[in-house]
Structure 1
Amino acid sequence: MTIQIDSLETSTKKIIYSDKCKDILSLSVAEIQELFKSSGILLFRGFGVTHEQMKAFSKQFSSRFTRETNRTRVDSREGFVSLVAQGTHFIEPHCENANTPFRPDAVWFCCGVPPAQGGETLFCDGVQVWEQLSEESKQLFLSKKIRFDFIYSAEQWKHFLGAEATLANVKQMLEGLEGVSYFINEDESVSFAYACPAVIKTKYSNQDAFANNILNAKESVFFENGSPIPDTIISEIEEVTDRLTEEIQWQVGDLVMIDNSRFLHGRRSFSDNQRLIFSIFSYLNF
């Protein structure tokens, strides 16, 4: 196994190559764990990984997986492998499900077919974003939590919990969760509010990271008291994030593993319809 550290100065990303298309399942689990703890993002290239192999590989590092409410499932039996968000539009950097109390530890992406042009997956280190925000913004986010407001339709929460789920299952899941308030509507949709810090401690290095969903949820995020986040603050976050954002130019069979407590991820827009990227979200076992 040859380890290459990405040459971009701002990146901790490591690329793990296989010149001879060695089976990715033969890699040392312990070594990958240590690399992931230190870097937060690993790109495996040259292994020709399929979405089935991604699932088998991720199981070595995961205690459990999560289902997504708005994605097309690929593995019908368990439903944990899905296609990435539909459409060809730009997606702002964000942490997966950071607008809910169900943030997974890791995001896994596997490339089946790269786009002809554009469509790169973006990533940005939340530790570096926090370091480069102004002191005024830091103090604001340290003193105030943010709140996400949204509605889950019955179809959405059944997709997440399973087709046989009931409102009793919804209540059981949500009761007692820190920062959560909810209301069940007459049509069995659930109005949901979640208050949380905008800056969190990373899972492994215990560093402060501006790792949240503020940028891609601008219409539904406020401070905890309901007041809006000032446009000037949003503009500053966008400027810092844009400056620090890097990209993965996909090749067939690439697999990437991202620390969701540290790195934000997104996507550049693209125009063709051939892009095929698979995803898994998991809680880690190390």
Structure 2
Amino acid sequence: MDQVVCEFREEGTTLPLFIKPKNGQDSAEFIIQWIGENKELLRQKILEYGAVMFRGFKIDKGVEFERAMQQFEPELSKDYHGTSPRKQLPGTEYVFTASELPRFFPIPQHIEMSFLAAPPRNIFFCCLDEPVGPGGETTLCDFKKVYEDIDPAVRQKFEEKEVMIVRNYRKGWTVFTDPTQLKGWPEIYDTDKKEEVEEHCRKSFQDFTWMKNDGLKLVNQRAAFENHPETGDRIWFNHLQTFHWYMISDEFYRIYKRMGLFKYLLLSWFAWFLKMILFIFIGPMNCGFHTCYGDGTEIPDAVNKHVRDVTWKNMVFNRWKKGDMIMIDNYRISHGRQPYSGKRLIVVSWSKPYLRPSLREKNE
């Protein structure tokens, strides 16, 4: 580590660990080579701190980011069965825009693809165009701390009941009939053949039902927690923060409190009103996404608020700078996106799927 400088955001914090240039060694070629020569050390640091951020190096292109991450993780993946719209970056094979959602839309904290049987082991982000206005942070949260801070009685309920994730997809994008629809199922699975979708669902432990008008309902019952695959630490590991309509209005309200921008308070009221309309006329189980207890009963608003309080208490807000690259332990550290205005380009890559420890135990 004598070729670089290691430090934290501020005294008393440990997320993320920053790696910065030393003695003017800030070229893309230097850090790409350095990552390859120190990947085992980096694995130890990611395991210890949860995330490692490279700052101050001249990473200007998606292909440079891709080369750097392949030095660390030679076998990246481009299979993406999440809900956020993404575009592949020209000239790369494993680099995508982080999200094509509108700038005003926040993305709550989540472990990438935690609703699947095998989420990526690690996820990587890079800033190619930094935001200049307020917001735009890719926020981080240690879900080990979230697990520890959740009220023991609430934890026990989730331990006993687990969680059920419900997702509904149309064949086409239907944001005007249901704003929770972000992608159609042919985009999720890169095919419009139902038999291929069914085969994938069976392999990934997902219950599926074909609905009228070519709708697809996916239901995953999963453990609410996971043991970290290497440390054994207990981790809050589910998509409640993202796949529950309580969270959308609550997220906008918390953003308003933090940033003091009245438009987010208005969006919070609008989201709450829209939630009521959807719940009355569509029903929570027929919205684009929903989370309930594993037995199908609703999770009370008080529990949702408590989980949100704990999550926000542990969130880290770090402003992007051009060339930043971050490596994240996707089995411990969640990420999200604050809304923003103006230009911003964050790209993402991820590692191969890794079967959840709870499912490994069942299959052994």
8 Å contact from structure 1 (residues 114, 276) kept in 2: yes
**2:67 is the counterpart of 1:56:** yes
Structure 1 counterpart of 2:322: 252
Counterpart AA for 2:194: L
Whether the 8 Å contact between 1:62 and 1:284 is mirrored in structure 2 is no
Task: Give the paired residue count.
Answer: 282
1:75 alignment counterpart: 89
Q: Is the 8 A contact 2:63 2:91 kept in 1?
A: no
5 Å-filtered alignment, 1:136-151, equals 136-151=153-168
- C-alpha distance in structure 2 between counterparts of 1:142 and 1:47, whole Å: 44
Correspondence 1:280 to 2:339:
no
Q: TM-score, structure 1 length as denominator?
A: 0.89
Q: SS of 1:217's equivalent?
A: coil
Of 184, 190, 200, the match for 1:173: 200
* Corresponding residue to 1:87 among 75, 97, 102: 102
Conserved 8 A contact 1:127-1:210: yes
CA contact (8 A) 1:66 1:104 kept: no
Q: What are the residue-to-residue correspondences of 1:128-277 with 2, within 5 Å?
A: 128-154=145-171, 156-163=184-191, 166-178=193-205, 180-185=206-211, 187-219=213-245, 220-272=290-342, 274-277=343-346
Alignment check: 8 A CA contact 2:144 2:234 kept: yes
State the distance in 2 between where 1:52 and 1:38 align. 28
1:33-59 deviation digits (Å, cap 9, x = unpaired): 221122210101112223212212222
> How far off is 1:11 after superposition?
3.1
- Decide which structure has greater helix share: 2
Please list every run of 5 or more consecutive structure 2 residues that lacks an aligned counterpart in the other structure: 173-183, 246-289, 355-364
Query: Judging changes above 3 Å, is the alpha-carbon distance between structure 1 residues 151 and 47 closer, same or farther for their aligned structure 2 residues?
Result: same
Read off the aligned partner of 1:96 and give its amino acid letter: E
Structure with greater Cα Rg: 2
Percent identity reads 20
RMSD (Å) for aligned C-alpha atoms: 2.3
- Alignment of 1:108 onto 2:124: yes
Question: Structure 2 residue aligned with 1:37, among 37, 47, 69?
Answer: 47
User: Tell me, which stretches of 5 or more residues in structure 1 are unaligned?
Assistant: none
CA 280–126 in structure 1, closer or farther in 2 if over 3 Å, else same: same
Secondary structure of the corresponding residue to residue 226 of structure 1:
coil
Q: 1:33 to 1:242 in 2, by over 3 A?
A: same
8 Å Cα contact 1:167/1:188 also seen in 2: no
Q: 2: CA distance between counterparts of 1:64 and 1:169? A: 23
Superposed displacement of residue 251, structure 1 = 0.4
Distance 1:95 1:79, change over 3 A: same
